[in-house]
Amino acid sequence: MKITYDRSACQGHNRCYMLASELFDTDDEGYAILLVEGDVPAELEEKAQLAADNCPEFAITINE
């Protein structure tokens, strides 16, 4: 599973940080920072999916 994050779509709703803090941090203005590059570790796949499914701005994409 691969995860990508589109900074230009992100509006800092922080759903990703709340649901998957292993995968997302936030900067001091509240925009998301993706902590992994490319492949999502297997044990975090569920959380990655949750983050993508709850981003109101569709800024997170998952590719199997």
Q: Which stretches of the chain bind other proteins, using CB under 8 A?
A: 11-15, 17-19, 26-30, 50, 53-58
Bridge partner list, 25 = 33
Contact flag: residue 21 with ligand SF4 (CB under 6 A): no
Contact flag: residue 16 with ligand SF4 (CB under 6 A): yes
Contact flag: residue 14 with ligand SF4 (CB under 6 A): yes
CA distance 12 to 17: 10
**Angle at CA of residue 58, ends 56 and 60, nearest 5°:** 115
Name the residue nearer to ligand SF4 (CB basis): 14 or 49: 14
